[in-house]
Structure 1
Amino acid sequence: MKAKKGFKMPSSVVIILSIISLFAILSWIVPSTEYIKATGEFVPGETKNLGLSDIVMSVVKGFRSRSDLIVFIIALGGFMGITMKTGMLEALIGSLLKKLQGKEIWLIPILMFIFAIGGTTFGLAEETIALAIVIIPVFVLAGFDSVTALMVLLYGPSIGFRASTTNPFGLGTAIDSVNKSLAPIIGKETFITLGDGMLYRVFAFVILYALFTGITIWYALRVKKDPSKSLTKELNEAIKEKAHQQFDLSQIPEFTLKRKITLGIFIGSFTLLVLGVVPWENFGITIFSNIHTWSQSNPVGIFFNGTTAALGHWWFNELTMLFIVSAIILGIVNGMKENEIISEFYAGAKDLFGVVMIIAVSAGVGIILTDSGMQYTILDKLISILKGTQGVVFVVLNYIFIIPLSLLIPSSSGLAGVIFPILGPTAHALNSSPDFVSLVVTSFSLAMGTIDSLSPTSSVVMGLLAIAAIPFEKWAKMALPLSIIGFFVSIGMITIFEFMI
């Protein structure tokens, strides 16, 4: 008699394709809605009957919509392929693990603080994919598991994003949208600034950092003491084997001059990444823009002539260029021949093809929602409910409603640009205090981060899971309880902040 096979959770790609298919089916039932940007109104549209071709096409469009990120990841993979060939990381990680022997746990609060600062200042998110290739094997070799590494990579930036202080994307767009929508009403261009509500967001940063870092340390120590407590215990041997293949620490390579120079190029590349994406001009720092302007007409700056943006305005095109150039320099410094550089670049890029597929398919969810017009239908219904509330109820319900909307429109700046031309005047009509309106904006940031580490439509989440080789359902066992805890803590903070106004 044959034994019954147990239920096996489908792959991440299948899960996301199922979500896309479900929305395609619902498009035959749920009417579409159009958003008129000029007036900030939602108007009824015709029901869109999406078919099988739309499901497949959503993935194709997903590739196109995330092509900048995908090309960046390919360049990053090539850069890492050449880096691995040099043996520099083996030498560095082996030395680091020896020095931190018995104190590896300090990696968690240090890295989470660095990532949280990145999240709160410039919306660090996709950039962690670049770091995952190194951080995941380091945590595994240190005696933790890949879930611990993912908690650091996802919850570190999420802490900062939820408690955004200067983040120009979600927070900046929300404030700009509020000001533009209120200008005709109040007769001035600026109603709230980044400074409004800053103390609340700093307080939230401290609370959330202590909460999520504490939970991550607790889980890491638990796994290190008893590996059977790991959420991925049946996968850990394969993950460890892969980590050892990446970093053979049985024979730690010597730190030669070439490897020291390689380390300098490696650190320099990621330093430029950070310098490139931080919006310096928002902080009144114009030196990078001034240098860029000077270089446009000076032969010394010929490399930056043309369309390359100034530091502080870089995004995936410039970052892709950065890692391609860095990969070539690494190969030359380490004496690689042309064919070897190309071969190792291809090998590294090939290792991240699974990540590319996950990112493209997850982007398809947003595409199918846009094509069906359902995202604005749902958005219109939720906002109409909010208009009938006031005070703390308004702020709390705003927080709650933003959570499902963040699945429909994962882009924080995209969602802020759609809802705050409506929410801004609504909040102002209830309470004309800048503190109250800025609290509504703060609740938006907190809400956008509540399930950002659990969302199957997030290219960052699905990309990191693909790199770590962790099935979505395994990660969900950790992420879901943490999202629930974060939900109630955020509700508590919002309520306290509202009564303090």
Structure 2
Amino acid sequence: MSENDEKRNKTVKVPHTYVIIFFVVLLAAVLTYLVPAGKFETKEVTYEKGGTEETETVLVPESFQIVENESGDAVREGTSLFEPGGGAGLLNYMFEGLVSGSKWGSAVGVIAFILIVGGAFGIIIRTRAIEEGLLSVIDKTKGKEGLIIPTLFFLFSLGGAVFGMGEEAIAFAMILVPIVIALGYDAITGVMITYVATQIGFATSWMNPFGVAIAQGIAGVPVFSGAPFRIVMWLFFTVVGIIFTWRYAAKIRKNPRESLSYESDEYFRKDFESKDLHVKFTTGHTLVLLTVGAGMVWIIWGVIQHAYYIPEIASQFFTMGLVAGIIGVIFKLNNMGVNDLADAFAQGAKDLLPAALVVGMAQGIVIILGGDNPAEPSILNTILHSAGELFSGVAPAVSAWFMFVFQTIFNFFVVSGSGQAALTMPLMAPLADLAGVTRQVAVLAFQLGDGFTNVIVPTSAALMGTLGAARLDWGTWFRFVLKFFIVLFVCGSLFVISASLLSFV
């Protein structure tokens, strides 16, 4: 047994993601007995975005009140063990989390999105076009494989910055994780250059329509203002991400057993070993890959030009998979028949089912805390209000940093960028005025706190979907990404404090 194997065996086994979430749910249930429920009044605000008028329902900061019973005591509702009639008891968290929300977001919409994307790529993978394309890439890039990492990281970061790329990374991970493993890297590298890169772009964006645009509109800051500062910030963090990933990938390529995902990567290695690795790239394979490329262009166009979101993007992926499957049947790719098309879709969806379940479980945490509706009594509203109280009476730069810390923590409960903006910016904007912090800095604290945390929190549907595609357990991922998250947090803190000192507007 090698020294690395001995170290791996001595390492304490990280609990399964389902176990971690269950204990977080237990903690949330305990908090409902300790923290009183509160609520806000709400109002509609409108703002301009891309030449059109957008509307958001936001809370009124000064309207917060603790919910009291008839005796005038604060209500601590507590969480029952089981609640009939579709209630939110402790043991109801799984089902209620899975069916919560709508087709426009977590959890139902994201779960459907994950399963449909998984099925679509199951069909594409069944055609073997991906493998044949991989073999061609590997054959033609011998000696230049290192260029793949910085190039792809940059492009995915740009996608996150320009059109808020997030859930789309799940599909790309299904394609690129096998590529990087075949090139001698690991699944962690694949997640870094896809999902993590998009979140760096998302967090530092100067024009993301789902994050910074909404936050600026709600805060009363001109939409897409402050672009030069944010572009410099985006370049800085993208370079940091590339260097971190490049150095890690180089170490893994020298000794693959150093990887925390070495054992789970065996699935992809065996998949390659069990197949004929001679390049047989045919016209049919070319048509499938062109279909995938055209589908991605269609998705990007839809998001940028028409604000397509989960329902439209899921249908676009389904269309992409269906067309690829028809091509596979016509050209007999990998001996495909009509029934194989259906079987491949089912297998692809099955592969991402664990990730879909995690999305529902994570949403169950928010439900136990009372939900994220500011107008309904919940301890989440009380936590939000209490955090805002901490900002009074301190130096502007410190207040700005506190805002960043708060947004970082709050993102565990409300991962949606637009949802978090609607909940927190109505409170942060007036608090920024009182603390002597510009509202632009408050928006900056929001977007950095919201975006960077997405690389680590198990409540992120996009992260869990990507990890599912890479066959990575969240505990394993956490052990790796914690160091990188600390780097992002420290650098983000410096940017927020510097922006405050410079009175960034």
TM-score by length of 1: 0.84
How far residue 226 of structure 1 moved from its aligned partner, in angstroms, is: 1.9
Question: Equivalent residue for 1:284?
Answer: none
Question: Equivalent residue for 1:397?
Answer: 402
2:96 is the alignment partner of 1:55: no
Question: Equivalent residue for 1:275?
Answer: 301
Q: Quick one: structure 1 residues 361 and 172, their matched pair in 2 at CA, closer, same or farther if it must change by over 3 Å?
A: same
Question: Equivalent residue for 1:176?
Answer: 217
Task: Identify the match of residue 205 of structure 1 among 234, 246, 253.
Answer: 234
Cα displacement string for residues 186-242 of structure 1 (whole angstroms, at most 9, x for unaligned residues): xxxxxx213432222111111101111100000000111122322234444344224
Cα displacement string for residues 352-378 of structure 1 (whole angstroms, at most 9, x for unaligned residues): 222211222122222222348221111
How far residue 244 of structure 1 moved from its aligned partner, in angstroms, is: 4.5
Question: Equivalent residue for 2:449?
Answer: 447
Moved more, 329-338 or 92-101: 329-338
Q: Quick one: structure 1 residues 471 and 81, their matched pair in 2 at CA, closer, same or farther if it must change by over 3 Å?
A: closer
2:487 is the alignment partner of 1:457: no
Task: Identify the match of residue 232 of structure 1 among 261, 278, 281.
Answer: 261
How many residues are matched?
A: 448
Q: Quick one: structure 1 residues 50 and 147, their matched pair in 2 at CA, closer, same or farther if it must change by over 3 Å?
A: same
Moved over 6 A (4+): none
Question: Equivalent residue for 1:251?
Answer: 278
How far residue 19 of structure 1 moved from its aligned partner, in angstroms, is: 0.7
Conserved 8 A contact 1:358-1:466: no
Cα displacement string for residues 17-71 of structure 1 (whole angstroms, at most 9, x for unaligned residues): 2111221122112211112223332211221211233233222222223222222
CA distance in 2, matches of 1:222, 1:83: 32
Conserved 8 A contact 1:169-1:412: yes
Question: Equivalent residue for 1:326?
Answer: 320
CA distance in 2, matches of 1:58, 1:243: 40
Conserved 8 A contact 1:140-1:243: no
Secondary structure of 1:231 counterpart: coil
Question: Equivalent residue for 1:467?
Answer: 469
Secondary structure of 2:260 counterpart: coil
Question: Equivalent residue for 1:162?
Answer: 203
CA distance in 1, matches of 2:276, 2:378: 53
Q: Quick one: structure 1 residues 476 and 5, their matched pair in 2 at CA, closer, same or farther if it must change by over 3 Å?
A: closer
Cα displacement string for residues 384-406 of structure 1 (whole angstroms, at most 9, x for unaligned residues): 11133342122112112211111
Question: Equivalent residue for 1:31?
Answer: 36
CA distance in 2, matches of 1:27, 1:430: 31
2:286 is the alignment partner of 1:260: yes
CA distance in 1, matches of 2:30, 2:386: 20
2:380 is the alignment partner of 1:354: no
Task: Identify the match of residue 193 of structure 2 among 140, 152, 174.
Answer: 152
Secondary structure of 2:40 counterpart: strand
How far residue 484 of structure 1 moved from its aligned partner, in angstroms, is: 1.1
How far residue 125 of structure 1 moved from its aligned partner, in angstroms, is: 0.8
Cα displacement string for residues 164-196 of structure 1 (whole angstroms, at most 9, x for unaligned residues): 2111222122111112xxxxxxxxxxxx21343
Q: Quick one: structure 1 residues 44 and 166, their matched pair in 2 at CA, closer, same or farther if it must change by over 3 Å?
A: same
How far residue 115 of structure 1 moved from its aligned partner, in angstroms, is: 1.1
Conserved 8 A contact 1:119-1:160: yes
Conserved 8 A contact 2:393-2:435: no
Secondary structure of 2:181 counterpart: helix
CA distance in 1, matches of 2:432, 2:278: 63
CA distance in 2, matches of 1:384, 1:136: 45
Letter in 2 for 1:403: T
Question: Equivalent residue for 1:476?
Answer: 478
Conserved 8 A contact 2:38-2:64: yes
Letter in 2 for 1:230: S
Cα displacement string for residues 396-429 of structure 1 (whole angstroms, at most 9, x for unaligned residues): 1211221111112212211211222222123234
Q: Quick one: structure 1 residues 445 and 5, their matched pair in 2 at CA, closer, same or farther if it must change by over 3 Å?
A: closer
Conserved 8 A contact 1:362-1:462: no
Secondary structure of 1:9 counterpart: coil
How far residue 469 of structure 1 moved from its aligned partner, in angstroms, is: 2.2
Determine which structure has the larger helix proportion and give its number: 1
Question: Equivalent residue for 2:55?
Answer: none
Secondary structure of 1:228 counterpart: helix
CA distance in 2, matches of 1:84, 1:331: 10
Secondary structure of 1:37 counterpart: strand
Question: Equivalent residue for 2:3?
Answer: none
Letter in 1 for 2:92: M
Conserved 8 A contact 2:35-2:76: yes
CA distance in 2, matches of 1:430, 1:232: 45
Conserved 8 A contact 2:403-2:446: yes
**What are the ranges of 5 or more consecutive residues in structure 1 without an aligned counterpart?**
180-191, 281-311
Q: Percent identity?
A: 26
Secondary structure of 1:193 counterpart: coil
CA distance in 2, matches of 1:238, 1:358: 21
Letter in 1 for 2:447: S
Cα displacement string for residues 89-120 of structure 1 (whole angstroms, at most 9, x for unaligned residues): 11111001111112212111111111111111
Moved more, 47-56 or 329-338: 329-338
CA distance in 2, matches of 1:75, 1:84: 14
1:109-148 equivalences in 2 (<5 Å): 109-148=150-189
CA distance in 1, matches of 2:339, 2:256: 43
CA distance in 2, matches of 1:84, 1:149: 17
TM-score by length of 2: 0.83
